[in-house]
């Protein structure tokens, strides 16, 4: 195992991780140049179409006398938990920076994570072949922000393969081999898993001590679940069975367990009756935003349930519970890691399971404080990287979104640290940030804590009857603005009735916004041909009295389409 090297590629989104992985696969003869799809390790069609990695991908390569285990990681902040668990399994990382964009927020965030785990970092400037690449400026930024030495930074083009062979040689020399602990009792960390309908849960593992082979009786420490190993193997990149896995290796174990909930990412696999402590893993991904999902055809509810359960088998960060809406029927409240995660899940459900869905606008989860009547909201820590000329506009925008300034690092790129309510960050902040910085600013964030906030439930009333589907928790300083927009939108999308409809927003016991939907008038006199005017007046008076009675005893008719239009208001 002295010739074994475990490493990952980390970078900001779209800096060329998967393209570099392709060049490695070609140089090590895993695939033939020009005879494979680009971004080979991005298996998901949505990942390919969007041009972003949304799932970690391991692969084993042979280079000279070395065995290289590579894990390609996602770059988007919503999937940073995939990076966290990857870094627990490797001894080194390639830190990739796009020479046309320079250091960006997740470059810094990922570098800090690697440093915290004391991993070997190989700094790389990529895309040096592009005409607008600024290699020297990018290298200076890497020296400033990451503290690396300028002469240790590689200059490559992952697209053309320029200097990639030299990089591959450097990996074998600079990254340390894993500790040799094959004779000790088994300890393996689960860093991913998926469900196979024939062979049960297949766990992706890093073996830290001991070895494992087919037929071994093992134990999942956290769950207390025993199983017999059906198969072990490596990623080639497809699953390839072998005789055993030993200390330092990255591979898979076929558990034959039929319940995905029993095989948790971060759990430790060991031998039965072991008194070994669990390996330091990582926490389960925490849902940050929540949305409700309904089918446009209520008969598809069971299909949606099956689709979510199937999706959970390969995305354990997903959480969902059943709910019911008077207007939209049965559905699910689903927790997501962020807005991109929500969008990817929706698209996968619709495309892979042929469902027509409505996803309500994602919201944060408010909590009741221990003190009676107080509400708490989630706060996040933002790291914003921006060119100097956009700093003032970025700071102004952050303050408009209730951001609290913490620190600033004044180098050739400005890094700003803010603490901000999560509800503000998911409300157009990222789009506005790109707008005020001409697309140059980048953002990374992490959850901080729940803090007290002046907020309450805003209830929408239609003719004084509360409509729960339109109600939500709103922060006091946003209440009037939110209420005004919402009642106006409802006035536009609710069909006119035979009687007047009052649309009101109630907040802290007061009506803070209202609109009036005038009735349509049915022509009750159309059957009269001429004749006495008093007959028409009598019919109209009778109609008016009837409408008054309808208003008192009737409910406002709201077609399903109106709900769908409202829930798409943030599109």
Known binding positions for GTP: 14-19, 126-129
Give the three-class secondary structure for 382: strand
Helix (H) or strand (E) segment spanning residue 87: helix 80-87
Calculate helix-pair angle for 164-174, 17-27, nearest 10 degrees: 90
Q: Shortest CA distance to 378 belongs to which of 361, 360, 346, 402?
A: 402
Q: Give the C-alpha separation, 142 to 54, whole Å.
A: 25
List of residues 6+ apart from 258 with CB closer than 8 A? 200, 201
Structure tokens at 294: 């309904």
Q: Give the C-alpha separation, 497 to 555, whole Å.
A: 10
Q: What phi, psi does 381 have (nearest 5°)?
A: -100, 125
CB atoms within 10 A of CB 523: 10
Q: Shortest CA distance to 365 belongs to which of 441, 453, 439, 280?
A: 453
Helix (H) or strand (E) segment spanning residue 446: strand 442-453
CB burial of residue 324 (10 Å; 0-12, 13-18, 19+): exposed
Q: What phi, psi does 498 have (nearest 5°)?
A: -80, -5
Q: Shortest CA distance to 288 belongs to which of 345, 336, 339?
A: 336
DSSP string over 464-522: TEE-GGG-EEEEGGGHHHHHHHHHHHHHHHSPP-SS-EEEEEEETTEEEEEEEEPPP--
Which residue is listed with tokens 């999308």?
Answer: 493
Q: What phi, psi does 217 have (nearest 5°)?
A: -95, 115
Annotated binding-site residues read 14-19, 126-129
List of residues 6+ apart from 452 with CB closer than 8 A? 369, 374, 375, 376
């Amino acid at each position: 195992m002295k010739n074994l090297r475990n490493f990952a590629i980390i970078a900001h989104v779209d800096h060329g991780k998967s393209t570099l992985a392709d060049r490695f696969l070609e140089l090590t003869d895993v695939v033939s140049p020009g005879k494979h799809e680009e971004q080979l390790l991005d298996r998901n069609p949505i990942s390919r179409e969007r041009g972003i990695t949304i799932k970690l991908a391991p692969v084993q390569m042979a280079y000279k006398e070395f065995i290289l285990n590579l894990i390609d990681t996602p770059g988007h902040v919503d999937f940073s938990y995939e990076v966290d668990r990857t870094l627990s399994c490797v001894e080194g990382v390639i830190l990739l920076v796009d020479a046309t964009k320079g250091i960006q927020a997740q470059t810094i965030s990922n570098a800090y994570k690697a440093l915290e785990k004391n991993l070997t970092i190989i700094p790389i400037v990529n895309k040096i072949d592009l005409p607008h690449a600024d290699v020297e400026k990018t290298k200076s930024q890497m020296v400033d922000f990451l503290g690396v030495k300028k002469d240790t930074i590689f200059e490559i083009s992952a697209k053309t393969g320029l200097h990639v062979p030299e990089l591959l040689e450097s990996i074998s020399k600079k990254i340390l081999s894993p500790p040799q602990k094959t004779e000790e009792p088994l300890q393996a960390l689960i860093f991913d898993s998926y469900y196979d309908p024939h062979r049960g849960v297949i766990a992706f593992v890093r073996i830290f001590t001991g070895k494992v082979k087919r037929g071994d009786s093992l134990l999942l420490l956290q769950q207390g679940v025993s199983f017999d190993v059906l198969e072990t193997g490596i990623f080639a990149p497809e699953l390839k069975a072998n005789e055993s896995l030993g200390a330092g290796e990255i591979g898979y174990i076929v558990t034959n367990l039929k319940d995905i909930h029993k095989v948790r990412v971060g759990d430790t696999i060991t031998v039965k009756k072991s008194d070994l402590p669990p390996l330091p893993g990582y926490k389960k991904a925490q849902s940050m935003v929540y949305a409700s999902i309904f089918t446009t055809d209520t008969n598809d509810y069971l299909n949606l349930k099956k689709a979510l359960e199937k999706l959970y088998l390969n995305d354990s960060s997903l959480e969902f519970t059943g709910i019911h809406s008077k207007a939209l029927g049965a559905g699910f409240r689903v927790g997501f890691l962020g807005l991109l995660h929500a969008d990817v899940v929706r698209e996968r459900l619709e495309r892979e399971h042929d469902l027509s869905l409505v996803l309500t606008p994602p919201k944060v989860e408010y909590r009741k404080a221990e003190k009676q009547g107080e509400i708490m909201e989630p706060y996040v820590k933002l790291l914003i990287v921006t060119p100097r000329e956009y700093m003032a506009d970025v700071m102004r925008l952050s303050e408009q979104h209730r951001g609290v300034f913490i620190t600033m690092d004044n180098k050739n790129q400005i890094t700003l640290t803010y603490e901000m309510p999560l509800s503000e960050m998911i409300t157009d902040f990222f789009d506005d940030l790109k707008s005020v910085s001409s697309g140059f600013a980048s953002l990374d964030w992490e959850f901080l804590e729940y803090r007290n906030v002046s907020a309450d439930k805003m209830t929408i009333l239609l003719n004084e009857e509360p409509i729960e589907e339109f109600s939500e928790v709103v922060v006091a300083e946003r209440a009037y603005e939110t209420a005004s927009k919402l009642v106006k939108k409802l006035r536009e999308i609710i069909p006119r009735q035979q009687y007047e409809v009052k649309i009101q927003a109630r907040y802290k016991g007061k009506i803070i916004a209202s609109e009036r939907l005038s009735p349509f008038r049915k022509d009750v006199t159309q059957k009269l041909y001429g004749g006495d005017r008093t007959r028409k007046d009598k019919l109209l008076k009778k109609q008016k009295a009837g409408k008054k009675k309808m208003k008192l005893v009737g409910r406002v008719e709201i077609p399903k389409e109106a709900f769908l239009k409202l829930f798409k208001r943030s599109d």
